[in-house]
Structure 1
């Protein structure tokens, strides 16, 4: 009998603890905003610029934007770019102190770097200002997601969406070839081989991300942890020049070069997602938000044919867990000239009402609102995978990617190593040693 997962009582109980303190006194511009009365649109005529990641969440925000502009009188200039271009654009804006973007959306790993560099402002004063927090409800965010937006005891971002990772597999093909849903990497290799061979390569046994950088690192980290590896050892040194990391990369290279699709070394999130949705691969490990695309008749040719399961592991009980906990949030630029207007947009875009609406606009199962997760739309649209998704989120490893200021450099160095191994230019062991040496130089320079 399939076990049903829901958000646990402990998770719900911790909501209040995760919420930001609403009693803190606003400071700076936020306190001045409270003095503006007599108008329902105190920021009418102000313009803000927002940099968003190409994602179903962003698409929904864009479609709902006229409502915000009409109700506030604030003009919003949205720029939506692919995830692979997002951080470089944000860093160019921040380092130049141009103030081009008032709000930047990015993942929590890069968010920590922005905080440490002094590029973004804390949000506690805005969240605690009664004249500005009409849409803000800290207790409604998934606690793990809101916690990921904090550095120390300060809130620096509002979670736009969150996800974990799970295994997606073709139920029809597994039944046809009498295959067992894999719980280990060896079993996954066997399943990929059977389907690839039986279909004479017309259906890839598996598809994963190969594109250099955060794209391949995000999925490969499942294998790093699943083989018993880790990013940083107890002495604060890079831990990639290890037998566990080598096993993870050799496995990744072998399963993709033997049973993966043509051109997989260039696959990012979108390419990987589309190939699976088109029925051209039997398995993939990727973000839980992909389930919404698999089950959308307008997007997918495999609706109702996909099974969802925890990511396999080789060790049985990895150190930190082999599924991710990834949260993407909106951050307020320190050089913004219209911070109150920017906060109103951030709190509106992440409010429960807007997140509930977003699920009917685009395939968006990555909502960060507990109210949205309990809504009938969520339950009816995402029922095929919601239990597995919620279980993955609860077990998600917060250190799945390195949560340190040097994370960006470490991820980039590791992404190069993965690409070198996938293309056969360098052995997995040598590529990881090179990345390990570079990572240690970065760590020593802190």
Structure 2
């Protein structure tokens, strides 16, 4: 077992550096917050923006609590929230984190145990959370964050183009079928597929890690020996790089989730493999030209099935918060059953945060609106098992990430090497040789602590 105290010390040191680079790490006093002000750090995604707009309803029902939102881009939010929580600065009462951070931070004592709050809140019903999501946000059987929305990954494809070309897919499709379809549909006016190539452990590596897993690869063996230069990983990464270079979107090395969403929504690509949360863009007439034309299929497989990832944006309370009771009131409002109906009635049922509660899929209006993608989203999330992500055994959990603190840095550096291969600046073999060295350095520290 890795030495958690030494890991915590290294994280605190690292976040201390981040704190110098980011404003607002001085503590609650610098924000001018009162005892009844709940300060919420959240990612500026569309579902979170809806929550902020609806929060006046919460304040009307709780006139003694004022809400203060700090909204940041995903990369900024990760850095700032990690720095603040690790340093115990107390500037945030609610933080938006994920199933990557939650179990680790719970182990370090950085988060408040939410199970006592959950059990004391009438009608909150934690058993209504999708089990795979609930377990991913738990530590030693207790929940330390609760899901705002959950996601897996699937293949999105232009159903009309597939029908015209006579292309059919297996259930689940294979990556060979996907590559063949991309080649067949690729033309001067339409690229065959969009895949992320932008560096980042939460960008390129999210889809690519699922490809590595299903091709039989892994980051480390059971003894923490790095495996990024193994034949399985080599084959998976070469496949991914070749596919996006030969039949993918323009500028693939700079394309992330947002860029691919735009490509498919504007009718420029025939397929996209990515997050199930993409439907909020693809099925919204205000942002998409292909509403009603998209088919949805399970994450493609090679050897291991299922291969979809598991992720949740969730809400937790830092242990340093002095307003935990008020913070929980807000969290429970934003994540309960009634909130889903509030969003649907206010903004439309395609805007409801998906993938957190089973009861969401039983709302008749939502079931009708999400008929094309709701059932497969739920099935994909339910079947994802982050404790069994690979063909061969591994000492870590996580599907599209390795659930160790070092992965934020390790994954980003590895992704930079592979993105350079996508850009044509080096070969896949060269990229993975360097990636192997990075991973070996991390694996060695875990072997020392065994």
Contact in 1 for aligned 2:97/2:314 (Cα 8 Å): yes
Aligned to 2:84: 93
* 2:182 corresponds to 1:195: no
Runs of 4+ in 1 over 6 A off after TM superposition: none
Q: Secondary structure at the match of 1:235?
A: coil
Match of 1:207 among 183, 194, 205: 194
* 2:323 corresponds to 1:338: yes
- The Cα offsets for residues 327-353 of structure 1, whole Å up to 9 and x where unpaired, read as 221111111121111111111110110
Contact in 1 for aligned 2:354/2:360 (Cα 8 Å): no
Measured in 2, the distance between the counterparts of 1:418 and 1:364 equals 35
Measured in 1, the distance between the counterparts of 2:190 and 2:91 equals 46
How much does 1:385 deviate? 1.4
Q: TM-score, normalised by structure 2?
A: 0.82
* 2:226 corresponds to 1:238: yes
* 2:93 corresponds to 1:102: yes
Q: Secondary structure at the match of 1:215?
A: coil
Contact in 2 for aligned 1:406/1:443 (Cα 8 Å): no
Q: Secondary structure at the match of 1:330?
A: strand
**Structure 1 residues 262 and 328: alpha-carbon distance in aligned structure 2, compared to 1, 3 A threshold:** same
Contact in 2 for aligned 1:163/1:327 (Cα 8 Å): yes
Q: Bigger shift: 166-175 or 113-122? A: 113-122
Aligned to 1:41: none
Q: Bigger shift: 66-75 or 263-272? A: 263-272
How much does 1:376 deviate? 1.4
Q: TM-score, normalised by structure 1?
A: 0.83
Measured in 2, the distance between the counterparts of 1:299 and 1:237 equals 45
Aligned to 1:34: none
Contact in 2 for aligned 1:293/1:363 (Cα 8 Å): no
Measured in 2, the distance between the counterparts of 1:205 and 1:274 equals 15
- The Cα offsets for residues 295-336 of structure 1, whole Å up to 9 and x where unpaired, read as 222221111111111122222x35xx3111212211111111
Aligned to 1:32: none
How much does 1:135 deviate? 5.9
Aligned to 1:444: 444
* 2:405 corresponds to 1:420: no
Aligned to 1:28: none
Query: Structure 1: where are the runs of 5+ without partners?
Result: 1-43
Contact in 2 for aligned 1:110/1:407 (Cα 8 Å): no
Measured in 1, the distance between the counterparts of 2:76 and 2:108 equals 20
Give the total of aligned pairs.
394
How much does 1:261 deviate? 1.3
Aligned to 1:112: 103
How much does 1:158 deviate? 0.7
**Structure 1 residues 162 and 78: alpha-carbon distance in aligned structure 2, compared to 1, 3 A threshold:** same
Measured in 2, the distance between the counterparts of 1:311 and 1:153 equals 29
Contact in 1 for aligned 2:39/2:93 (Cα 8 Å): yes
- The Cα offsets for residues 358-404 of structure 1, whole Å up to 9 and x where unpaired, read as 23426235241222221012201110112222221222131312233
List aligned pairs for 1:378-393, cutoff 5 A.
378-393=366-381
Measured in 2, the distance between the counterparts of 1:271 and 1:116 equals 36
Measured in 2, the distance between the counterparts of 1:371 and 1:179 equals 35
**Structure 1 residues 135 and 336: alpha-carbon distance in aligned structure 2, compared to 1, 3 A threshold:** farther
How much does 1:238 deviate? 2.9
